[in-house]
Each structure stands twice: as structure tokens, then as C-alpha cells.
């Protein structure tokens, strides 16, 4: 059995240090109350409900006010509301497929295609860390654009970090898709080794067995209840 202990997490890249503004800090040891990570009542899945959601309202503010609105956003609520919107979107939307196109474009050196598809992905899913990272590291955007997307990445990762310690099912970190689990681990210097699904008290959790930069094994728990079975 792997031991769970408080650890200082080295950030994976200098980019994350800039966007999160947290160099040298550990995973939060002061998580939000567990009740704050529970699912809210799902609204009606119609256009009016989606347009009135915190996700859509705050996204408009972010696009209008840029960094100021990024700072003011409740990113946990923003992500939760996106998940509700996501569940009412047409089945044809496939983030993984678009991410594959982006990766192939980067591999082939097609910076324009990579940037174009990343923007298309964010038009549908502004919570997608991979798309933000792609734009933040693109040679085709200026420093202000990079700073904006770096800041968003840092805020999303921080909202995951603040949702729980992640050392047990009781303190599991809240995520809205599997990609957030892997992005969180990657940017904090952990390599996933094995993923296990656990059901406890009517909720579902992923237990991620990982390897840290020190070569030791660590495990983290993520609450996947709200999106379980929807992807």
C-alpha cells in the first residue's frame, strides 16, 4: 500500500510557475469544505438555461475584460456549470478528437492549424487546459495572449488543487473530466502509472497511482461522480 503524505509539488514547466504564481508551494492543505464540491441541482437542459448559466455569463465577462475577469472568476463554479452545459451539447462534440488534431498539427509543424483548432476547441470548452496550453506556447501569438492563457491555466489548476487534498475519497479533488486529472498530475510533475475506479457511498472516484520526480510512488483521489457515465 502506498503511503499518502504531504509533499511539495515541483511545477512541471516555467510556464506554469508564471501562470499559477505558486513556485515552491505544495498541494493545498486547506481544501474547501466537502459540501462545496457536491453537485448542484441540474438546470433544465435548454438554450435559455445554458445562456443564463454562470459559465456563459462569466465567459462573456472574461472575453470582454480579459485578465481582470479571469481573476474575479470562481473557477470551481465555472467548471461545474460548464459540465452541465456540456451534458446538453450535441454528441458530435468530441474534445479528444480535436486534441488529436492539435497534436498532429504541432508534430508536423503546422502552427496555423494548431492555433486554429485550439481556438475552435475553446469556443466550445473554455475549461480545456490542453487548448489553453497550446495557445500559450504557440510561436504565432504575442506575449499578452500568452499571459492570458497562462493565467487561465493557473486558475483552473488552482481550483482543482483547492477542492480537496486528494489523499482519500473523503478529500478527493473535484474534476469535470478525465483530462483534468491527467493535466493536473502532469503540470505538478507526476507520471500516471495506474487508474482505478472506486465506488463509495453512492459516489465514484478515480484513484491515480503515480510516480513523482523523486522516483517514489504516490496516489491521488479524484471525485468523478458528476461526469461519470456521460463520456
The model's pLDDT over 115-155, given as tens digits with 9 standing for 90+, comes to: 999 999 999 899 999 999 999 999 999 999 999 999 999 99
List, for residues 35-71, the tens digit of each pLDDT value: 334 445 544 456 777 788 899 999 999 999 889 999 9
Of the CA atoms within 13 Å of residue 40, those in its CB half-sphere come to 16
| Strand order, beta sheet including 191-200 | 173-174, 217-223, 203-211, 191-200
**In this structure, what is the dihedral angle of CA atoms 168, 170, 176, 177, given to the nearest 10 degrees?**
30
Taken in order 47, 52, 55, 56, the sign of the CA dihedral is positive
Cα–Cα distances in angstroms (integers) from residue 54 to residues 43, 77, 122, 152, 207, in the given order: 12, 7, 17, 16, 30
- Residue 22 pLDDT > 60: no
Phi, psi of 197 (to 5 degrees): -90, 130
Of 120 and 92, the structure prediction assigns the larger pLDDT to: 120
- Residue 208 pLDDT > 90: yes
* pLDDT (0 to 100) of residue 173: 98
Q: Domains in the chain, please, with CATH?
A: 12-18+39-162 (no CATH), 164-231 (3.30.360)
- Residue 230 pLDDT > 70: no
**pTM of the prediction?**
0.78
Amino acid at each position: 500500500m502506498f503511503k499518502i503524505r504531504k509533499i511539495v509539488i515541483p511545477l512541471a514547466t516555467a510556464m506554469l510557475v508564471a501562470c499559477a504564481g505558486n513556485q515552491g508551494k505544495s498541494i493545498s492543505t486547506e481544501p474547501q469544505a466537502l459540501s462545496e464540491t457536491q453537485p448542484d441541482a441540474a438546470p433544465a437542459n435548454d438554450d435559455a438555461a445554458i445562456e443564463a448559466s454562470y459559465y456563459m455569463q462569466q465567459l462573456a465577462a472574461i472575453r470582454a475584460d480579459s485578465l481582470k475577469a479571469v481573476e474575479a472568476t470562481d473557477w470551481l463554479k465555472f467548471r461545474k456549470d460548464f459540465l452541465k452545459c456540456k451534458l446538453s451539447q450535441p454528441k458530435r462534440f468530441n474534445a479528444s478528437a480535436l486534441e488529436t488534431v492539435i497534436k498532429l498539427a504541432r508534430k508536423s509543424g503546422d502552427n496555423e492549424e494548431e492555433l486554429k483548432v485550439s481556438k475552435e476547441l475553446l469556443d466550445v470548452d473554455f475549461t480545456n487546459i490542453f487548448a489553453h496550453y497550446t495557445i500559450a506556447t504557440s510561436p504565432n501569438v504575442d506575449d499578452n495572449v500568452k499571459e492570458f492563457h497562462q493565467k487561465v491555466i493557473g486558475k483552473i489548476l488552482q481550483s482543482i488543487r483547492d477542492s480537496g487534498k486528494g489523499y482519500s475519497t473523503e478529500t478527493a479533488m473535484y474534476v469535470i473530466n478525465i483530462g483534468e486529472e491527467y493535466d493536473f498530475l502532469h503540470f505538478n510533475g507526476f507520471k500516471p502509472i495506474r487508474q482505478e475506479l472506486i465506488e463509495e457511498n453512492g459516489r465514484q472516484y478515480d484513484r491515480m497511482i503515480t510516480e513523482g520526480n523523486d522516483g517514489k510512488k504516490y496516489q491521488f483521489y479524484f471525485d468523478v461522480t458528476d461526469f461519470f457515465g456521460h463520456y
